Amino acid sequence: MLRGIRVLDLSRVIAGPYCAALLGDLGADVIKLERPGRGDDLRALRGSGRMSASFAAVNRNKRGIAVDLQKPEGARLGLLLARRADVLLENFLPGVADKLGLGYDAIRAVNPAIVYASITGFGQTGPLARKPGYNTIAQGMSGLMALTGMPGDPPTRVGGSVSDVAASYMAFGMINAALVHRFRTGEGQRLDVSLLASSLGLLPDPVAIYFDTGERPRRAGNRNLHLTPAEAFATQDGLLNVVLMNAEQWGRFCAALGDPTMETDARFATNDARLANHALFKARVEQILAGAPTAEWVGRLEAASIAAGPVYEFHEVFDDPQVRHLGLVATMDQPGAGRVRVLGFPGGASGNPPRIDRPAPLLGQHTAGVLRDELGLGPEEIDGLARAGVIELGTDA
């Protein structure tokens, strides 16, 4: 899909690198630029300092180079690579790229068609623009944590790097839209993506309800405060999620549970009645569900065309037949780690399906090859840059 698109990835940790990896999955040629010596901070997360599972997961399908942008000659190399790029992705604090000579205005001057994507914690302007932003901070400030947790408990962090990944997906979509615009008009542009805005963007329905009612949402644990059953129920051996979206499904639900009298019981016959008598309703349902394991109830409910699914422990997810069928887990040979499993691209396409062709690079693995093939530098010049500490040379592959 993106074959022939050149991406220069100056970003670090998760939000930017994962976005660039997704672009690489779709065929873009991604060059990841890291600082010599340490590289991306994510390399050291539960890793040797040269490669970690987390780094490998979000930096596949990239060529890796190590260039010191703090040195004038290193910044010059960055500018030369940006001049040839279709997309530049960075997540410096606002103003840092400008100081390096790699800000949007400097790149646009030599490459007017560049799609320049900046990912920060809080955006390019405003009172918090220069505040560092990370996943947990964005979750707390966006309202995600305020909505998460059991009733009466304090706000709870959502598992995973949700705010980082929200920004990854936002940048991914905006970059592709900007490329379409460029193909139509020849115009590049700057994109401003933040963890705060991307996280808040995950909450369109709670925001709409709050604006409509003026009432602060309450933490509700595993239930929906406006609809029931739309929650997790205990079964004989675990938890079962069930969701009913309309009144027509109510009778089928009661029949599948083997409790047809509940269908016309005035305390439960309508969604409003079930909400008003929720504790009583849930106790009645869970008394029935305790008679069989989750898998059996999923089968019964699905046979009645009721949406239901198990609540897996994390290790159980990857044994699910649908997860296996969709190919959501890929395997690759990762230098520095051996044969590893990673999440694949989270979608499919009939014409040019996403694919993982290249594992995450070792630090500086492709420095010599990129400088030779992309910028035309000769061996003596490359060796001189390495001796001066401007670049780090790894094993080209």
Give me the active site residues, please: 164
Q: What is the DSSP letter of 102?
A: -
**Contact, 64 vs 365, CB < 8 A?**
yes
Nearest Cα residue to 40 out of 10, 61, 19: 10
128 Cβ neighbours under 8 A, 6+ residues apart: 121, 122, 196
The C-alpha angle 302, 308, 314, rounded to 5 degrees, equals 130
Cα–Cα distance for residue pair 179/276, rounded to 1 Å: 51
Cα–Cα distance for residue pair 362/50, rounded to 1 Å: 7
Nearest Cα residue to 193 out of 89, 273, 105: 89
Main-chain dihedrals φ then ψ at residue 126, nearest 5 degrees = 110, 175
Cα–Cα distance for residue pair 273/258, rounded to 1 Å: 20
Alpha helices in the chain (DSSP H): 15-25, 53-58, 72-83, 96-99, 104-110, 135-142, 144-147, 162-185, 195-200, 204-213, 248-257, 261-264, 271-276, 278-289, 294-303, 321-325, 367-375, 379-387
Token look-up 């691209």 returns: 345
